[in-house]
Amino acid sequence: MSTTPPAETFWPWPEGDTAHVPYRVFMDPELYRREQERIFQGPTWSYVGLEAEVPEEGSFRTTHIGEVPVILSRAKDGQVHVLINRCSHRGALVLHEACGKHKRFNCVYHQWGYDPDGTLRAVPFKNGVEGHGGYRGVDLDMKALSLRRLRVEVLNGLVFASFRDDTPPLREYLGGVWPQLTRVFDGRKLEVLGYLRQRVRANWKLYFENVKDPYHAGLLHLFVATFGLFRSTQRGETLAEPSGCGHLVSYKGGAEEHREEYEQQGISTYQKGYRLRAPELMRKLPDFKDDIAVSIQTIFPSLVIHRISNSIATRHVLPRDVNDFDLIWTLLGYADDPPALRNQRILQANLVGPSGYISLEDVEALEIVQRGIQGERGEAALVALGGTRVRYGEPERDLANETAIRGFWKTWRTLMEL
């Protein structure tokens, strides 16, 4: 029996179907608007930035949660805050620089001034001029007019925020992702090594599918298949959590031993004769006490974290519209890294990012999907590799399944009430 029903039967999306994803979810502006309310402003934890990016009082970075502009800042008492970047007076951005340090955050429009914790401190001409004008006779509640503070939790230097009080605590939200995540973010002081940024002409959800998808990695990426960093024949596991979080882990053992299978099947991304002019790129210095080659955690709805050899980075997914998102790569190390290890992390930044030896093909693949589904008439993608079920919290012990993708869509449907 065919697993693909006739066209024009996938919308409305059949209840309980986790093996098909209607292309409309990547195309519909109304669904995109609904996501802003139900997902990004819903009962989720959105990544905002790193404590290391706001080291001192008045330090800040501006970013977004969904389409909402926010400020990550550090206050006088040392606490980290996430504030909606919207002046209480007339709605202007209070801060429009990408980052910086100010004792007071002044809106350029009318100079209303806020402390780094969001408290409104200054309103020019509040009492008028020479007895005229101003806010006399108006109940100007400075406390109520402070910038809105979002609920914040910090995990070993990672800062998350939620619009909702009923969002489960972060530890509970992360579920089975917690152990892998805290192997990398283990409490050591972090150091930012650099940033990469790219605009991707595709729907943001395609990226979350991509990083939950071990199937493509050894088939799309010539570099990882050829140089043994990742092949589908390796040992590994994928995991889906009810929150939409998940992880993909591959282990070194098996990559070289099974290269014959790639040759026998004629998989073009394995090129036996290729060599590196700079083989030091693939050198792995002592770092973690495990044999993990690639570890990728996804924290729904806005964060991907990778450890690839000695490279560590966060990838921040920022939707722009239904057909576009920004991807911000923050390359990381630890403050106590010896110089050789820090240099190796910087060298391996060449593996990822907009022109990375590994990541280059991902963006092209997502953009050709977005172009390919234009004009769809109810068709859907097939995500039945490894079955049609979703096994929340139960790792799949292979790298030829789409379980984590199905888990992502089950969570998305629940939040969207579709």
125-184: pLDDT as tens digits: 998 888 888 888 888 899 999 999 999 999 999 999 999 999 999 999 999 999 999 999
For residue 339, what pLDDT band results from cuts at 50, 70 and 90?
Answer: very high
Strand order in the sheet with 113-114: 105-106, 113-114, 120-122
Compute the distance between CA of residue 259 and CA of residue 229 in angstroms, rounded to an integer: 11
| Whether pLDDT at 267 is above 60 | no
**Whether the predicted pLDDT of 5 surpasses 60:** no
- Specify whether the CB–CB gap between 249 and 235 falls below 8 A: no
Comparing 220 with 23, the larger pLDDT belongs to 23
The DSSP H or E segment spanning 219 is: helix 214-220
Q: CA 385 from chain center: how many Å? A: 24
Q: Return the DSSP state at 149.
A: B
Number of other residues whose CB lies within 10 A of the CB of residue 198: 14
Residue 255 has pLDDT above 50, yes or no: no
Please report the pLDDT score of residue 185 as a whole number: 96
Q: Which residue, among 149, 32, 19, has the nearest Cα to 81 in the 3D structure? A: 149
Helix or strand or coil: residue 176? helix
Give the number of C-alpha atoms closer than 13 A to the C-alpha of residue 252, restricted to the C-beta side: 9
For the chain, the residue count is 418
pLDDT at position 314 over 80: yes
* pLDDT tens readout for residues 67-95: 999 999 999 999 999 999 999 999 999 99
pLDDT digits (tens, 9 = 90+) for 197-240: 999 999 999 999 999 998 887 777 788 777 777 767 778 899 99
Q: Nearest 10 degrees: CA dihedral of 330, 218, 407, 393?
A: -90
Q: Give the residue among 151, 194, 162, 186 at the shortest CA–CA distance from 300.
A: 162
Q: Say if residue 264's pLDDT is above 80.
A: no
